[in-house]
Amino acid sequence: MSKQPTNLTTSWGAPVGDNQNSITAGSRGPTLIQDVHLLEKLAHFNRERVPERVVHAKGAGAHGYFEVTNDLSAYTKASFLSEVGKRTPMFIRFSTVAGELGSSDTVRDPRGFAVKFYTEEGNYDLVGNNTPVFFIRDAIKFPDFIHTQKRHPQTHLKNPNAVWDFWSLSPESLHQVTILMSDRGIPATLRHMHGFGSHTFKWVNANGQAVWVKYHFKTEQGVQNLDVDLAAKIAGENPDYHTEDLFNAIKKGDFPAWRLYVQIMPLEDANTYRFDPFDVTKVWSQKDYPLIEVGRMVLNRNPENYFAEVEQATFSPGSFVPGIEASPDKMLQGRLFAYGDAHRYRVGANHNSLPINRPHAEVHNYQRDGALRSDSNGGGSVYYEPNSLGGPKESLAHKIAPFEVSGEAQSVAYDHHDHYTQPGDLYRLLSEDERARLVQNIVNAMKPVESDEIKLRQIGHFYKADPEYGRRIAEGLGLTVPQGE
Ligand code: HEM
C-alpha cells in the first residue's frame, strides 16, 4: 500500500493546485503573470546557489565525535579536553583547494581538513590541511598565490607558467611543493590521509601558563595514495570518487578514525629555537618535541543534506575556546580576519545561527537583526551594554593570557631564510622509488612552462635542497643546472 502523499504547498504554505502545467491563456499559452506559484518557483530556483568558497570549493563532510584519551589539562583549560573519556560532537569538511565546486576529487592538490568541535564552551574550529606546512608564510601573499593556482583571466585555463613563476620567486614554498609533488599529493581516499593544524597555536592552562602547540591527526586507516595514472583515469570517470568513498564507508558502518596528537613547545623555547617556530613553512622536529596523544576522532554519521550542512558550514581559525589562543604566525593572523569576512559574504551575517554552525553552547550577546535572522532575535531581552537589567556579562576569567610584544612596527620579513634544509631532509628520507616518482611528477608539471628562466630558477631551489634532487629534475627537463648553484 503506497503512503498517502502530503499536500504540495508554496513556500508560504498554501496548497498548490497544479505543479505540472503553468497557467496559460488556453492550451497554447502565453503564460499569465498571475501564476504566482510559477513565478515563485522560477525565482527561488534562480537563487539556489550561494557563492562557492573562493578556495576549497569542492568538499565532503561528515559528523562524528572526538574522545579524549590522554589528560592534557596541565597544558590547556579547554573544557572539551579536560578529562579522559570526554566526548565532544564534531563535524569535518575535507576539500581540495584550487578546483571549483564540481571539480575532480583525485587531482594533485593539498586537501583541506577542517574540524568543528561543538564544545560546551562554544565552537572550536581547527581549519587545517593534510600537510603540516604551507606554501607561503605571510598572509599578504595569499591572494597572489591563489591567483596562480586558479584560472588565467583570459584563457580561463590553468596556468603552469604562473604557478612556477610564483613558486620560483617564493622559495619558502619549496617544502610544501615537495610534499605536494610526492606520492602524498593524491591521497587514495579522504580516509587514508593525516591531518594537521599546520600553524602553531597557544594553549593556556587554568593557572594562566601557556605553551605553543602543533596538532597532528594520524589516520587509523593508514596512509594510502593513488598512482598518478589511476588518479587521472578516475578523475575522468568518477570526479566525485573521494566524496563517494567517504559517504559509502560511513553508510556501511566502516567509520574512519584519526588519533589526535600535539607537539608541545615551552613558551620560552620560541626565542631560541633554531628557526622561527611560527613560520608555517617549517615543521618542528619530533625529536625536539615528540608527539603526545590527545584523543580520537571518529566519523560515524553522514550529512542529511549536503547544502545545509556541507556547503553552509563555516569554519574559522578564529573560532577559539578558552584555553586555546592565537600565535603570532603571520599567516594565522591574516586568516583570523579572512574567514569570518568570507562567511559574512558567502553565507551571511547570521551564518553562526544556521543549524550546522550553531554552537551547542548557549549564545548570549547583544548582536541583533541582520539578513535572515531566523531565531527569536533576542526577543524583548536587553539589547545594549552596559545595562542595569541583568544582561549577559563578560567573565574576566576568560580574558586571553597576556603576552608581551616588542619591536619596531614596520613591514618586516622573517628573520630566518633557510628554505632548503627541511625539503632537502624530506627528499633524503624518501626511498629511491619515491624519489623517482617525485622527480617525474615535478618534471611533468614543469614541462608545460614556457620560460626556461622560470624553470632554471626553480631547478636552482631544488638543487639547493639537495644537489641530486635539482640535477634529476634538470635532466628530466633536458636542462643543465646553472653554474654556481
Ligand atoms: C578556506 C582564506 C591559508 C585551510 C578558506 C576560505 C578563505 C580562506 C577565504 C573560504 C572560507 C569560506 O568561504 O568558508 C585563507 C587565507 C589564508 C589561508 C587568507 C592565508 C593567509 C590557509 C592555510 C590552511 C587553510 C594555511 C591550512 C593550514 C583552509 C581550509 C578551508 C579554507 C581547510 C576550507 C574550510 C571549509 O571546509 O569550509 N581559506 N586561507 N587556509 N582554508 Fe584557507
Interface pTM, i.e. ipTM: 0.98
Among protein residues, the one whose CA lies closest to atom 21 of ligand 1: 139
What phi-psi label fits residue 370: left (phi over 0), alpha (psi between -120 and 50 degrees) or beta? Answer: left
Catalytic residue among 37, 56, 63, 199: 56
CA separation (Å) from 347 to 40, 114, 224, 316, 329?
22, 17, 35, 13, 27
* Ligand 1 site, residue 114, Cβ cutoff 6 A: yes
Tell me if residue 56 is catalytic. Answer: yes
* Ligand 1 site, residue 178, Cβ cutoff 6 A: no
Number of Cβ atoms within 10 Å of the Cβ of 177: 24
Mutating to test ligand 1, I would choose from 339, 345, 354, 357 the residue with most ligand atoms within 8 A of its C-beta, which is: 339
**Cα 69 from Cα 295, distance rounded (Å):** 4
Tell me the CA–centroid distance for residue 55 and ligand 1, in Å.
Answer: 7
Q: What pLDDT does 319 receive?
A: 98
Catalytic residue among 123, 129, 357, 441: 129
Q: Does the pLDDT of residue 300 top 60, yes or no? A: yes
The CATH 2.40.180.10 portion of the chain extends over: 59-132+186-357
* Ligand 1 site, residue 59, Cβ cutoff 6 A: yes
**Cα 293 from Cα 274, distance rounded (Å):** 25
* Ligand 1 site, residue 55, Cβ cutoff 6 A: yes
Per-residue pLDDT reduced to its tens digit, 8-42:
999 999 999 999 999 999 999 899 999 999 999 99
Examine residue 386 and say whether the peptide bond preceding it is cis (omega within 30 degrees of 0): yes
Instruction: Categorize the per-residue pLDDT at 85 as very low, low, confident or very high, splitting at 50, 70 and 90.
Output: very high
Q: Which CATH number is 59-132+186-357 given?
A: 2.40.180.10
Q: Does the pLDDT of residue 130 top 80, yes or no? A: yes
Task: Tell me the mean pLDDT in the region 275-281.
Answer: 97
Q: Does the pLDDT of residue 484 top 60, yes or no? A: no
**Residues 100/52, Cβ–Cβ less than 8 Å:** yes
* Ligand 1 site, residue 334, Cβ cutoff 6 A: yes
CA separation (Å) from 261 to 119, 199, 282, 294, 327?
18, 14, 18, 5, 18
Q: Is 339 labelled as part of a ligand binding site?
A: yes
* Ligand 1 site, residue 53, Cβ cutoff 6 A: yes
Output the pTM of the full model: 0.97
Among protein residues, the one whose CA lies closest to atom 26 of ligand 1: 134
Instruction: Categorize the per-residue pLDDT at 482 as very low, low, confident or very high, splitting at 50, 70 and 90.
Output: low
